[in-house]
């Protein structure tokens, strides 16, 4: 260990591949902790940002281009272990600032053309520990340099080092470079020129300055993590090898399982737990061993990322797997574009890693409330109340494994879902896993390693900052997820899920839409049933503040079986997490409170936790209209009078203080016709005009759907803008899937409501977003996208917005009709019918949202087979033509993919052919070229007129793709299309 930090600087004159290799070999040589690069010209910026060494880069100035490239460009790289100690990093057009070990490092590039005044603006007022960079200045013979000047710069930097008491460090050997280093006079430092056996492709040398720090610098490689190479996991030979290896190596597992099976005598709990941990360890070790042998590993730090799916997965694009491939590509791209959102420390003394650790340790600190002492659980082996042979059978496990998407990240144990999917083809494996699960259930205990999770902070507003501007995504072990999914099936049959009907969150037969309809419609009932005053309450980090002992206590009083209590206690107590911070990991911190986010069981456990509050509030209702509505931790109170409001608020307050929660008063609201002044624990409730309730803006006049459409449309359009840059070259099928999964879903969530309550002008922003999205998907010009919006929708197999909203409205009616349980909406409808309550026109139920015209008119067909009915309606809608010349009539049913209904054009074997096929369909084939026959500007009509090919569209048949490709290639040879990407 040493106390010297090694900071390199390299003017690379355009960061080409050879220069990048030179830099990477330098930083991985161990001679550098940090390297600052100047004049990168933003070459391959995306590729470089994906490097694990990347820290930050300067802001690109879009206006400044020379001969087709960007000017300037600074970038800081750091080793993973040094990154661990960084407090913050930042950049401007000409500077990079790094904070670590209490030092402020300033890397600069000041081009010769920059005025001295501008340079002065970029030198910050803070204390500079180290100023390193290319200042395009030479200091003459007194500094061992031949060149001298410019004079004003020389004078300025001389003055600067004097005023800031910095030393201008002279390198060990004299040279004539314009790269210089100034160091705080209290810090000792020396400067060298880096030499290596590799050829230096730049005309500048790389320099390295060693600066003394207060603390010892630990340089360990433990921060590097590894991943299995999953690229070829779908290869049948690889699959077979993995399964064979499992069968061949499982002797040890059989022995362990035999020992576990025999443990059914009353014994010490700790012995049980050790046994389970040991058993699970042998099992997971074998999986790791197989992955290591068959798949191979790669280091995350050495990996290069790519956003283009490999040829193997291109074949999968018209298979059922296509959406998970698209999801993976999309998520990676989002991760990349947020890579510049670094987490900074809130305290310059601490590194970002330490600060994040403190932040989370504090968030999950032991509860201060007096907590009931849980009685110890009898650790007799349980009689099998859970019926594990059913819920943890091989079939159930297989279903659970296949139910998890391939796009999900591997948990802290690094076992990826696609690995387990391979093993589902082996009954031996399923048999073993089933036996492990059976033993966990029998003993009421689960492996300790399942309680370790990893947190990935995601920036709240797409910009970096300190940790409080990030929200956590928690990733748990995949095997735990499978166990939980099986257990969930059982829990659904217990009284744990029988919570009050006013709770709509995460429940079968309940929905957000039902809760939204009731919220709106209670404003439009005849008196006395109308509720024109609402209180919205926001609990701060509700899931994270649940006190586990209180939860278990509530379970005991509701007579939940000891076996289930024991398992849940094992899954949720003594959890710990580590956080991924700027590419490195914090230590583990203990979560003393909270339900584990990322666990599929957490939502229903929370519903159970808050259920006594739901019941006590419901008891305050006297006319059948609920006095409170719950959606998980979202609470809405519906008081009839001010006194009633106060009673409800005091019930909430009592419950909150007893259950370790906190009310976030700033995010709570009172919205009502009566101008009551309401307070919660002495603090006045805010009275905004609008409150976002379950995603929709609620006002005194009901939901403001115009505002909703506007903001959802804008959000979707912004995402499309981002994708036009980051996802420009993706495969069209990938784009189409991303459109459905991540763009359209932005506005579809309240679809049944939009379907009945929106007038045409309101949905305009959504329609625009759809046009923008499909323009991106098809890769046509914006002009064509607007002009032929119906044609491109039809090509993509995407219905128009109104058609789609109606289809989702029908789905909603159907789900409500088949709901076996009552929910808030069904209860309200019953009440309205029973008491003959009048509903005003603005109530959604006035329009029979629960029994749409389009639904009831076709009820027989829909109840026979809804999917078939909707499919046929969709096909009909997609084929609608307006005029005889409408090219939509050429897209016949047999042209379309049988499942997605997109045109065959999307499913050709190369991107080039797809583009040309889409251009043909759009009648823009050959734009920008001259006709080889008549030598006039080529138009698609020349195919018939000059080339004599009649009705080319007849080749567009999905089942005969190969034939279409052959004909298309012939056409391309006869009349080569323009290769200019911009003419489409």
Query: Interface with Zn ion by CB under 5 A: which residues?
Result: 931, 933-934, 942, 946
Rounded CA separation 316/322 (Å) = 6
Beta carbons within 8 Å of 782's beta carbon, 6+ residues apart: 775
Beta carbons within 8 Å of 32's beta carbon, 6+ residues apart: 6, 7, 8, 26, 79, 194, 208
Identify which of residues 578 and 942 has a Cβ nearer to Zn ion in the complex.
942
Rounded CA separation 491/499 (Å) = 13
**Cα radius of gyration rounded to whole Å, the chain:** 32
Among 287, 491, 269, which Cα is nearest to 392's? 491
Closest separation in Å from C-beta 936 to Zn ion: 6
Residue 252 CB neighbour total at 10 angstroms: 12
781 φψ region: left (φ > 0), alpha (ψ -120 to 50), beta (else): beta
Name beta bridge partners: 684: 679
Rounded CA separation 438/313 (Å) = 36
Identify which of residues 59 and 944 has a Cβ nearer to Zn ion in the complex.
944
Identify which of residues 470 and 920 has a Cβ nearer to Zn ion in the complex.
920
Q: In a 3-state reduction of DSSP, which class is residue 694?
A: coil
Closest separation in Å from C-beta 26 to Zn ion: 59
Closest separation in Å from C-beta 941 to Zn ion: 8
Closest separation in Å from C-beta 914 to Zn ion: 25
Rounded CA separation 259/282 (Å) = 13
Identify which of residues 271 and 934 has a Cβ nearer to Zn ion in the complex.
934
Q: Indicate the Cα dihedral angle 767, 771, 772, 777, nearest 10°.
A: 140
Identify which of residues 302 and 934 has a Cβ nearer to Zn ion in the complex.
934
Closest separation in Å from C-beta 950 to Zn ion: 15
Identify which of residues 526 and 941 has a Cβ nearer to Zn ion in the complex.
941
Rounded CA separation 358/764 (Å) = 47
Closest separation in Å from C-beta 974 to Zn ion: 11
Closest separation in Å from C-beta 134 to Zn ion: 57
Token pair 């820290």 in the structure block, residue: 55
Beta carbons within 8 Å of 474's beta carbon, 6+ residues apart: 453, 454, 455, 456, 577, 596, 597, 598
Rounded CA separation 314/330 (Å) = 15
Identify which of residues 178 and 926 has a Cβ nearer to Zn ion in the complex.
926
Closest separation in Å from C-beta 848 to Zn ion: 57
Q: Where are the beta strands (DSSP E) in 639-695?
A: 669-672, 679-680, 683-684, 690-693
Identify which of residues 530 and 974 has a Cβ nearer to Zn ion in the complex.
974
Identify which of residues 767 and 974 has a Cβ nearer to Zn ion in the complex.
974
Identify which of residues 380 and 949 has a Cβ nearer to Zn ion in the complex.
949
CB 93 within 8 A of CB 67: no
Closest separation in Å from C-beta 930 to Zn ion: 8
Identify which of residues 910 and 936 has a Cβ nearer to Zn ion in the complex.
936
Identify which of residues 660 and 928 has a Cβ nearer to Zn ion in the complex.
928
Residue 594 CB neighbour total at 10 angstroms: 21
Rounded CA separation 173/168 (Å) = 14
Identify which of residues 662 and 944 has a Cβ nearer to Zn ion in the complex.
944
Among 70, 61, 63, 2, which Cα is nearest to 39's? 70
Identify which of residues 531 and 942 has a Cβ nearer to Zn ion in the complex.
942
Closest separation in Å from C-beta 775 to Zn ion: 28
CB 388 within 8 A of CB 614: no
Beta carbons within 8 Å of 353's beta carbon, 6+ residues apart: 84, 85, 86, 581, 582, 584, 585, 586
Closest separation in Å from C-beta 864 to Zn ion: 53
Closest separation in Å from C-beta 925 to Zn ion: 13
Closest separation in Å from C-beta 935 to Zn ion: 7
DSSP 136-156: S-EE-GGGT-S-EE-HHHHHH
Residue nearest to Zn ion (CB): 931
Closest separation in Å from C-beta 972 to Zn ion: 16
């Amino acid at each position: 260990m040493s106390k010297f930090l090694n900071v390199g600087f390299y003017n690379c004159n355009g960061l080409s591949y050879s220069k990048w290799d030179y830099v990477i070999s330098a930083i991985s040589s161990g001679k550098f902790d940090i390297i600052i690069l100047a004049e990168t010209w933003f070459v391959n910026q995306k590729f470089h940002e994906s490097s694990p060494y990347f820290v930050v880069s300067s802001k690109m100035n879009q206006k400044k281009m020379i001969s087709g490239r960007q000017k300037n460009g600074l970038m800081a790289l750091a080793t993973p272990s040094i990154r661990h100690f960084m407090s913050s990093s930042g950049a401007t057009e000409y500077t990079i600032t790094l904070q670590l070990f209490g030092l402020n490092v300033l890397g600069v590039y000041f081009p010769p053309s920059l005025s001295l005044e501008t340079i002065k603006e970029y030198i910050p007022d803070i204390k500079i520990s180290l100023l390193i960079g290319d200042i395009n200045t030479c200091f003459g013979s007194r500094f061992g340099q031949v060149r001298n000047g410019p004079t004003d710069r020389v004078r300025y930097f001389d003055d600067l080092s004097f005023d800031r008491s910095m030393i201008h460090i002279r390198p060990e050997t004299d040279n004539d470079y314009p790269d210089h280093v100034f160091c705080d006079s209290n810090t000792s430092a020396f400067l060298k020129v880096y030499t290596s056996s590799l050829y230096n492709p730049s005309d500048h040398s790389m320099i390295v300055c060693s600066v003394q720090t207060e603390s010892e610098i630990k340089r360990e490689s433990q921060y590097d993590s590894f991943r299995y190479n999953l690229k070829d996991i779908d290869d049948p030979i690889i699959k077979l090898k993995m399964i064979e290896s499992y069968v061949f190596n499982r002797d040890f597992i059989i022995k362990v399982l035999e020992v576990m099976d025999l443990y059914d005598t009353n014994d010490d709990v700790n012995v049980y737990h050790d046994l389970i941990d040991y058993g699970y360890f042998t099992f997971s070790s074998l999986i790791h061993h197989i992955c290591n042998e068959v798949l191979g590993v790669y280091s995350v730090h050495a990996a290069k990322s790519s956003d283009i799916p490999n040829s193997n997965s291109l074949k999968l694009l018209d298979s059922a797997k296509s959406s998970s491939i698209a999801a993976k590509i999309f998520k990676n791209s989002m991760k990349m574009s947020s890579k510049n959102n670094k987490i900074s420390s809130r305290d310059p003394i601490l590194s970002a890693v330490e600060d994040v650790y403190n932040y989370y340790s504090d968030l999950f600190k032991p509860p201060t409330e007096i907590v009931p002492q849980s009685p110890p659980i009898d650790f007799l082996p349980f009689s099998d109340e859970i019926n594990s042979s059913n819920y943890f059978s091989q079939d159930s496990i297989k279903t659970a494994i296949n139910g998890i998407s391939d796009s999900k990240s591997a948990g802290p144990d690094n076992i990826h879902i696609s690995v387990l999917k391979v093993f589902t083809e082996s009954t031996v494996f399923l048999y073993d896993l089933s036996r492990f699960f059976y033993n966990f259930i029998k003993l009421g205990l689960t492996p300790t390693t399942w309680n370790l999770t990893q947190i990935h902070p995601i920036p709240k507003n797409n910009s970096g900052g300190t940790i409080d501007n990030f929200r956590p995504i928690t990733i748990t072990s995949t095997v735990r997820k499978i166990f939980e999914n099986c257990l969930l099936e059982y829990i659904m049959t217990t009284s744990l899920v029988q919570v009050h009907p006013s709770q709509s969150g995460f429940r079968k037969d309940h929905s957000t839409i039902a809760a939204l309809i009731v919220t709106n419609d209670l404003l439009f009932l005849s008196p006395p049933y109308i509720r024109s005053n609402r209180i919205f309450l926001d609990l701060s980090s509700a899931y994270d503040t649940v006190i586990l002992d209180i939860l278990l206590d509530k379970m005991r009083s509701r007579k939940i079986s000891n076996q289930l209590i024991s398992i849940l206690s094992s899954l949720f107590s003594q959890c710990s997490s580590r956080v991924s911070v700027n590419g490195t990991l914090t230590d583990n911190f203990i979560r003393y409170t909270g339900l584990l986010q990322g666990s599929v069981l957490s939502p229903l456990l929370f519903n159970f936790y808050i259920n006594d509050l739901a019941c006590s509030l419901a008891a305050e209702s006297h006319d059948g209209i609920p006095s409170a509505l719950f959606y998980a931790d979202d609470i809405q109170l519906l008081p009839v009078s001010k006194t009633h409001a106060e009673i409800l608020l005091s019930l909430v307050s009592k419950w909150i203080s007893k259950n370790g929660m906190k009310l976030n008063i700033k995010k709570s609201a009172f919205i009502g016709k009566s101008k009551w002044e309401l307070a919660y624990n002495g603090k006045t409730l805010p009275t905004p005009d609008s409150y976002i309730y379950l995603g929709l803006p609620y006002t005194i006049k009901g939901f403001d759907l115009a505002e909703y459409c506007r903001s959802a449309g804008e959000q979707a359009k912004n995402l499309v803008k981002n994708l036009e840059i980051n996802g420009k070259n993706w495969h069209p099928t990938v784009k189409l899937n991303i459109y459905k999964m991540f763009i359209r879903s932005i506005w579809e969530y309240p679809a049944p409501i939009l379907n009945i309550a929106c007038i045409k002008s309101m949905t305009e922003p959504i329609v625009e977003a759809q046009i923008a999205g499909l323009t991106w998907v098809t890769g046509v010009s914006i002009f064509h996208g607007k002009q032929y919006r119906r044609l491109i929708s039809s090509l993509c197999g995407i219905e128009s917005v109104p058609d789609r909203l109606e289809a989702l409205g029908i789905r909603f009616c159907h789900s409500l009709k088949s709901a076996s349980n009552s929910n808030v909406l069904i209860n309200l409808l019953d009440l309205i019918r029973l008491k003959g309550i009048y509903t005003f026109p603005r109530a959604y139920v006035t329009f029979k949202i629960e029994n749409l015209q389009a639904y009831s008119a076709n009820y027989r067909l829909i109840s026979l087979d809804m999917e078939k009915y909707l499919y046929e309606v969709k096909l009909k809608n997609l084929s609608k033509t307006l005029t005889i010349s409408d090219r939509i009539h050429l897209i016949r049913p047999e042209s379309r993919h049988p499942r997605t209904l997109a045109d065959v054009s999307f499913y050709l074997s190369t991107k080039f052919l797809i583009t040309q096929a889409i251009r043909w369909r759009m009648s823009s084939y050959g734009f920008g070229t001259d006709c080889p026959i008549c030598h006039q500007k080529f138009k698609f009509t020349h195919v018939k007129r000059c080339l004599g090919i009649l009705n080319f569209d007849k080749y567009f048949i999905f089942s005969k793709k190969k034939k279409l490709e052959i004909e298309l290639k012939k056409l391309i040879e006869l009349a080569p299309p323009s290769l200019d990407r911009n003419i489409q």
